[in-house]
Amino acid sequence: MPVNKNGNSKGEKKKRGWVIFAAGCAVLTGGIVLLLVIYLAVGWQSYQDAPKIVSEVESDILITEEYDLGQDQMDAYLEYGFPEAFRILFYDEMLPDGSIVPVRLESWTYYSQGVELSFLNGEKSGLETLNNPQLGNLILSPYYPEQFTAYMSLDEVMTAAGLDEYAVVPLEKDYLEGSEVYYGPQLSFGMKDGELRMVEVMGLTE
């Protein structure tokens, strides 16, 4: 077998060359795989953070309990009728003694009558006169306040509101991590960690 001046055969040199080539291919392949994993991870996160439209929703059919209106709210029904638009916020508040109590803050808007009523846990807390009430023929909303209760799950909201499709927009993590806003016909609602925290029903005109 031919031997060079250093005592290495040509076969050994050839073998060493293949080892170096194989090692280089392994490093290159590993780098490509790593880049692919990073790309897929970034792409998946971008997909997760992007707005989506979900149709033909098959949510669990749940029996949801309606909220018990306060006397002031029932009086408002009798005087003004069902609100043409409304907003509800659900949150917890700490009292001076350190105890935590749930809060339901509502505003009911009657564009056709030029008034907006506020309620705190079912009790009337304010009445505002609208300077520029909405004009035109109002489209009656299919929703009413007692349909929605604090900390409902997404399936419970879907069942209560009768939705079969919705659009969802994840909020920025720096703004409110773990939160999403959902949109349906004349309706938007906010979920945090899978629990209902906000509902808004919009008044529309033809």
Cα Dmax for the chain: 109
- What is the per-residue pLDDT for 49? 46
CA distance 47 to 93: 35
DSSP state of 23: H
Residues 116 and 128 sit within 8 Å (Cβ to Cβ):
yes
pLDDT reported for residue 176: 58
Mark the ranges of the chain whose per-residue pLDDT is less than 50.
3, 14-15, 18-52, 175
Give the mean pLDDT of the chain.
76
pTM of the model: 0.70
Position 40 scores a pLDDT of 39
> How many angstroms separate the CA atoms of 66 and 77, rounded?
16
